[in-house]
């Protein structure tokens, strides 16, 4: 068995050990154990990446997929079986690096952040479970294995969001996350079934091969059969995308992400910023050849949903006052970027720029978004509140966090030479060459991004006097909390310089991406304008922002209320589904189904009561029945013998 | 003897049998039930001797059967009376309606 | 033809059936015993009519002189013989009557349809023959049943004493 299996097994072992014995025996050692296992996984991932990208990954100038582990788990027929395995190709290696690295940073950060927590070992066992599940998802060789680990990731997320289970809001949030993503997974499962039915296999390589070869009978069958005017292939791909949209918090399945901020902040950094929420993007990227070559209509759906979610989230983020919620909507917006970058991409060569840009943005976003959340965690730890109004003037008290936050904001705003600039610029280039409308919406969204991020930055660190009361408190944070922030800050600055196109492209052939400065002037200008607006409104303590908000009136209020999407969902479920469907079903179950069983029971009771009379214990009754029975038998015999 | 056909004997004995049966089903006192049983046994006796006399007069089997039945009926009546007396001592009643459980 | 024997047969039959009926329906227990006695007398007279003197004698001695007397003893031992017996349940009476009539009907119909082949040779009921047959060991001898019945009577005797004894001597 290839040593690559250790990447998955080590976190799983940590989960089992911490989960079973952590509470009683390991206590604080659980953190060390988990961190060590993730560190080991990270080291193995780095060596794998080095080996794949630089030594033996390329065959004839093109990166091809390798299958170091492939195990047939369940066989239905000789042609159809479920495998479990490890797939090594450019995006899975990239994801291995991202997941293990960010997980390692979060593990180290939690050593300081969660110290003193009573359920410390449980927390680390859940983190290990999540790491295991996410790693299993990214290296899946077939779509069913993806689904298995998809659900596992959902469970880990549920456990971690609801970690503070004594808080009702946390419990509600974890339930909401699980239910919304589960609902989306219904679509995912339907998509899996459709795609595997027509292609005859669950393996990614088979699905891609059979659906992209225009002469294959599988493709013909999938295109020709249609339901409600849409071909089966389109249905399958769109349904799979719906599953991805649930996990990636695309509109309208985004409602769980802001509420998921009830979990501990390191959890938000790991799951809801860097890794789990990009699972949907990863899924589309996995099946990208099928989307791009055989079903451009589905790809267009992806693009539209992505750009709409992106703009939607950016607008709402401008009004939110909870630091973590701003970051949550920011995540949704950036993932929208990744989604529509895939949506505007073609396959192969220059046309595949969008794909490469999307994956690059995934990489850089993981780094600076995790950094933003960890800094937010430090700030929250310092002022013991999530609200912006409780912060302000923290520049002197939290110097390292201040610099790190600034670097991350510059990265996310797309200011050169930080990492975000390179990835965003390539996304905008791809959009420009494909669909102008999407391009303009994306550019405006990018401007809004820098506005609300710097609004957050200035509100925390500048506006108002120094926060003196908190100064007597503990310092900025322990070294275990600051070290990951520093490392990630370096990453945010330098990651943009990686020549990503050489490694990850839609068809495996290296792509040379060059920066077109003329083109980039517009986005840079808009981002800078956003920063200037933020300085104007938020750097000094004033009420200019409130004046502007009241001018916008109802628009501002509805944005602040997240455009009432939650209320709509609640209306649909409570009034319509519960009353019209659930209540009658419950009535039916209680009265008719239960009633039927109760009637059977009652009938048996009545029957037994009637027949128990025969067991009266009275001799005369017995003998009377004896005589009667004998006479009856006698008559029957006489009839039979024809004597009567 | 042959002026009465066999069938008349049999009717008489059957009637006596079913009178005994009626008494057995209806009576509440155990001793009266015993009396009904004696009637039944006697009807059987009549049957035996009638068949013996009319169908097989060369042998005496029916007669001996009846003799033995009478002897055995006497023994049985004695044992039944003993049981009834015992029951009367423990329950102070010999109403058959009350004796419907195995427990004391 | 209307012989005296024919008429007397019907009279005896009526006699025994009537008293049998009265025995099972009497309200007072002592009267029921007396009606039973008369019914048994009727049966003995039926035996006499059939020329079976020994059997009739045995009937009178054992049944009437033994069993009925035993029954009367037990009546005295167990209850107040002057008072009325508890009445049976009406539905029980009707059910039993129906059952009895129904059974009687079936058996009677069955008997009526059977073609009995009657012979008229007389029976040998000499006392000597009976005694001889009772104790002989040969082909038509009844020595074995005789001995078995005697053992049965012994067992019945012992059983009655054991069941009915009040105090076993030696035990409190």
Which domains are delineated in chain B? 6-92 (1.10.287.3510)
A26-47 confidence digits (pLDDT tens): 777 888 889 999 999 999 999 9
User: Are C99 and A634 in contact (CB < 8 Å)?
Assistant: no
Q: What percent of chain B has pLDDT over 90?
A: 62
Where b means 16+ CB within 10 Å and e means fewer, A296-323 reads: eebbbbbbbbbbbbbbbbbbbbbbbeeb
CA-based nearest distance C53→chain A, Å: 34
Which residue's structure tokens are 């076993």? Answer: C168
Greatest mean pLDDT range, A117-131, A211-225, B79-93: A117-131
CA atoms within 13 A on the CB side of B47: 15
**pLDDT tens digits for range A315-368:** 999 888 889 999 999 999 999 999 999 999 888 777 788 888 999 999 999 999
Q: Which residues of A touch C (CB under 8 A)?
A: 620, 624, 627-628, 631, 634-635, 638, 643-644
Predicted local distance difference test score (pLDDT) of residue C1: 58
Contact B61, B52 (CB under 8 A): yes
Which of these, A385, A372, A518, A383, lies nearest to A456 by C-alpha position? Answer: A372
Nearest C-alpha in B relative to C144 = B68
Q: How far is the alpha carbon of B59 from chain A, nearest alpha carbon, in Å?
A: 30
Band (B1; pLDDT cuts 50, 70, 90): low
| C interface residues, A as partner, C-beta within 8 Å | 92, 95-96, 99, 102-103, 106, 109-110, 113
- Residue A467 has a pLDDT of 58
Give residue A266's pLDDT band: very low, low, confident or very high (50, 70, 90): very high
DSSP A79: S
Residue A619 is nearest to which of B21, B26, B96, comparing CB atoms?
Answer: B96
**A515 vs A86, more confident:** A86
CB A14 within 8 A of CB A7: no
Mean of all residue pLDDT scores within chain A = 86
Mean local confidence (pLDDT), A86-101: 91
- Please give the pLDDT value at position A584: 87
Q: pLDDT digit string (tens) for A558-586?
A: 888 877 888 888 888 888 888 888 888 88
Query: Quick one: average pLDDT of B63-79?
Result: 94
Nearest CB among C92, C96, C106 relative to A634 is that of: C106
Measured CA to CA in angstroms, residue A394 lies from A324, A379, A403, A471, A479 at distances of 17, 9, 12, 9, 19
Measured between beta carbons, which residues in chain A are less than 8 angstroms from residue C24?
none
pLDDT for C35 equals 95
For residue A431, give the nearest of A493, A355, A507 by alpha carbon.
A355
Task: State residue B104's pLDDT score.
Answer: 58
Decide if A157 contacts A176 (C-beta within 8 A).
no
What the block records as the tokens of A575 is 């009034």
pLDDT, tens digit (0-9, with 9 covering 90-100), for A516-544: 777 888 888 888 888 888 888 887 777 77
- Cα–Cα distance between B45 and A351 in angstroms, integer? 118
Whether residue A468 is predicted with pLDDT greater than 60 in this model: the reply is no
Contacts of A624 in chain C (CB under 8 A): 95-96, 99
Tell me whether residues A620 and B25 touch, CB distance under 8 A.
Answer: yes
Whether B96 has its CB under 8 Å from any CB of chain C: the answer is: no
**Least CB–CB distance from B75: residue in C93, C101, C152:** C152
Average pLDDT over every residue of A444-466: 86
All residues of chain B having their beta carbon less than 8 Å from the beta carbon of residue A623 are: 24-25
Asked whether residue B103 carries a pLDDT value surpassing 80, the answer given is no
Q: Which residues of B touch C104 (CB under 8 A)?
A: 14-15, 18
Confidence (pLDDT) at A495: 84
What is the SS3 string spanning A205-237?
A: HHHHHHHHCCCCHHHHHHHHCEECCEEHHHHHH
Per-residue tens of pLDDT for chain C, all 172 residues: 578 888 999 999 999 999 999 999 988 888 999 999 999 999 999 999 998 999 999 999 999 999 999 999 988 888 765 667 777 778 888 989 999 999 999 999 989 888 888 887 787 778 888 888 888 887 778 999 999 999 999 999 999 988 888 766 766 5
């Amino acid at each position: 068995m290839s040593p690559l299996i250790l990447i998955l097994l080590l976190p799983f072992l940590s989960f089992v050990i911490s989960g079973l014995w952590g509470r009683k025996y390991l206590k604080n050692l659980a953190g060390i154990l988990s961190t060590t296992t993730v560190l080991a996984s990270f080291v193995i991932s780095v060596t794998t990446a080095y080996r794949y990208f630089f030594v033996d990954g390329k065959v004839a100038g093109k990166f091809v997929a390798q299958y170091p582990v492939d195990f047939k788990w369940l066989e239905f027929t000789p042609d159809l079986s479920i495998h479990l395995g490890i797939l090594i190709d450019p995006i899975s290696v990239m994801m291995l690096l991202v997941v293990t690295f960010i997980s390692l940073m979060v593990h180290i950060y939690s050593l300081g952040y969660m110290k003193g927590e009573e359920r410390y070992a449980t927390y680390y066992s859940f983190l290990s479970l999540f790491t295991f599940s996410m790693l299993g998802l990214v290296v899946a060789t077939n779509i069913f294995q993806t689904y298995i680990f998809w659900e596992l990731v959902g469970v880990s997320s549920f456990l971690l969001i609801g970690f503070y289970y004594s808080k009702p809001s946390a419990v509600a949030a974890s339930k909401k996350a699980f239910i919304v993503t589960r609902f989306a997974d219904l679509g995912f499962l339907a998509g899996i079934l459709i795609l595997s039915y027509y292609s005859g296999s669950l393996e990614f390589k088979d699905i891609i091969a059979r659906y992209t070869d225009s002469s294959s009978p599988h493709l013909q069958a999938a295109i020709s059969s249609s339901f409600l005017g849409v071909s089966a292939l389109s249905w399958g791909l769109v349904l799979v995308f719906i599953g991805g949209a649930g996990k990636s918090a695309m509109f309208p399945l985004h409602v769980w992400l802001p509420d998921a901020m009830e979990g501990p902040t390191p959890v938000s950094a790991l799951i809801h910023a860097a890794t789990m929420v990009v699972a949907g993007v990863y899924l589309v990227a996995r099946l990208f050849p099928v989307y791009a070559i055989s079903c451009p209509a589905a790809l267009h759906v992806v693009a539209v949903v992505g750009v709409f979610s992106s703009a939607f989230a950016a607008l709402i983020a401008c009004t939110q006052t909870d630091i973590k919620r701003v970051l949550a909507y920011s995540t949704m917006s950036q993932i929208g970027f990744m989604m529509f970058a895939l949506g505007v991409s073609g396959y192969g060569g220059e046309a595949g720029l969008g794909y490469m840009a999307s994956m690059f943005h995934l990489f850089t976003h993981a780094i600076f978004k995790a950094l933003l959340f960890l800094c937010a965690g430090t700030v929250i730890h310092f002022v013991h509140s999530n609200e912006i109004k409780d912060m302000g003037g923290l520049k002197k008290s939290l110097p390292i966090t201040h610099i790190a936050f600034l670097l991350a904001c510059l990265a996310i705003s797309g200011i050169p030479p930080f990492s975000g600039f390179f990835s965003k610029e390539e996304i905008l280039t791809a959009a420009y060459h494909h669909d102008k409308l999407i391009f303009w919406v994306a550019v405006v969204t990018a401007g809004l991004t820098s506005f609300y991020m710097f609004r957050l930055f200035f509100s925390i660190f500048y506006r108002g006097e120094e926060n003196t009361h908190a100064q007597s408190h503990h310092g900025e944070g322990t070294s275990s909390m600051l070290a990951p922030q520093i490392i990630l800050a370096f990453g945010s600055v330098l990651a943009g310089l990686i020549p990503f196109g050489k490694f990850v492209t839609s068809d495996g052939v290296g792509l040379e991406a060059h920066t077109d400065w003329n083109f980039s002037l517009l986005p840079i200008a808009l981002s800078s304008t956003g920063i200037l607006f933020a300085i104007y409104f938020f750097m000094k303590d004033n009420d200019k922002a409130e004046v502007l908000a009241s001018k916008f009136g109802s628009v501002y209020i509805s944005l602040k209320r997240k455009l009432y999407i939650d209320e709509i969902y609640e209306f649909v479920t409570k009034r319509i589904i519960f009353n019209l469907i659930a209540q009658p079903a419950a009535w039916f179950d209680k009265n008719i189904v239960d009633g039927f069983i109760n009637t059977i029971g009652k009938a048996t009771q009545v029957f037994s009561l009637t027949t128990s009379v025969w067991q009266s214990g009275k001799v005369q009754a017995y003998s009377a029945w004896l005589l009667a029975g004998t006479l009856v038998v006698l008559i029957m015999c006489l009839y039979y013998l024809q004597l009567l | 003897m042959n002026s009465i056909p066999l069938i008349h004997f049999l009717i008489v004995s059957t009637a006596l049998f079913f009178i005994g049966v009626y008494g057995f089903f209806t009576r509440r006192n155990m001793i009266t039930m015993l009396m009904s049983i004696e009637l039944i046994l006697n009807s059987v006796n009549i049957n035996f001797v009638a068949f013996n006399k009319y169908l097989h007069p060369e042998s005496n089997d029916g007669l001996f059967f009846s003799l033995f039945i009478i002897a055995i009926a006497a023994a049985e009546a004695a044992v039944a009376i003993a049981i009834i007396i015992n029951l009367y001592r423990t329950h102070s009643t010999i109403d058959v309606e009350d004796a419907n459980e195995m427990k004391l | 033809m209307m012989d005296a024997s024919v008429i007397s047969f019907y009279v005896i039959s009526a006699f025994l059936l009537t008293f049998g009926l009265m025995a099972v329906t009497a309200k007072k227990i002592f009267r029921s015993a007396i009606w039973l006695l008369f019914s048994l007398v009727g049966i003995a007279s039926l035996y006499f009519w059939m020329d079976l003197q020994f059997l009739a004698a045995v009937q009178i001695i054992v049944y009437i002189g033994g069993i009925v007397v035993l029954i009367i003893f037990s009546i005295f031992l167990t209850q107040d013989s002057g008072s009325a017996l508890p009445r049976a349940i009406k539905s029980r009476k009707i059910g039993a009557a129906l059952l009895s009539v129904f059974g009687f009907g079936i058996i009677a119909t069955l008997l009526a349809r059977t073609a009995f082949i009657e012979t008229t040779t007389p029976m040998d009921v000499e006392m000597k023959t009976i005694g001889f047959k009772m104790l002989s060991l040969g082909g038509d001898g009844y020595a074995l049943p005789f001995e078995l019945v005697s053992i049965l009577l012994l067992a019945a005797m012992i059983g009655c004493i054991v069941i009915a004894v009040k105090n076993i001597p030696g035990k409190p």
